[in-house]
Amino acid sequence: MTEVFNTTFEVSLRVLLTLEVAGGGQLSADRIAASDFITVYGREFGISKENLHGENTYKYGEFALRREMVKEALKELVLDAFADVEDTANGVVYSISEWGKGYASKLDNEYARRYRTLSAKVREYLAELTEREALRRINEKSLLSLQRGGLNG
């Protein structure tokens, strides 16, 4: 069986759910990556009681790779017509397409429901932050983790 964890396919499903929760709002790739990371590791940010993906010593180290995987996932989602892309004065932004909404609605399992719930909380958490501030929060948590003596978590 082909491994689907930590692949662009897995990330694309989470990106699609993130765009769905955004309710048609336009998000940059970095905002999507930050939202996904905080959704998956919500406990670290006071969003949830536990991390959706469990404990991971290297969680902060994976953020740089996740940003790149989100960009690749977005390319695939746009090519497959699940997401729309627009070049605005503030940069490139993405939103869920009608086709993507239909597909996302079929993602109905415990993981998808939990992800949506946490993603909505993260949306509120990030609402008052600029993209730069959101990324700074992740970097600050990473530094605190290293100072506490953890490898990266």
Residue 17 covered by a domain: yes
End-to-end C-alpha distance for the chain, whole angstroms:
30
Domain carrying residue 22: 8-145
> What is the rounded radius of gyration, in angstroms, for the C-alpha atoms of the chain?
15
Strand, helix or coil at 120?
Answer: helix
Domain contains 3: no
Per residue in 21-49, pLDDT tens? Answer: 999 899 999 999 999 999 999 998 999 99
Global confidence as pTM = 0.89
Confidence (pLDDT) at 112: 96
User: Quick one: pLDDT band at residue 122, thresholds 50, 70, 90?
Assistant: very high
Residue 2 domain-assigned (yes or no): no
Determine the angle formed by the axes of helices 8-21 and 29-40, rounding to 10 degrees. 100
Task: Give a yes or no: residue 150 inside a domain.
Answer: no
Number of domains into which the chain is organized: 1
Instruction: Specify the CATH number for the domain of residue 113.
Output: 1.10.10
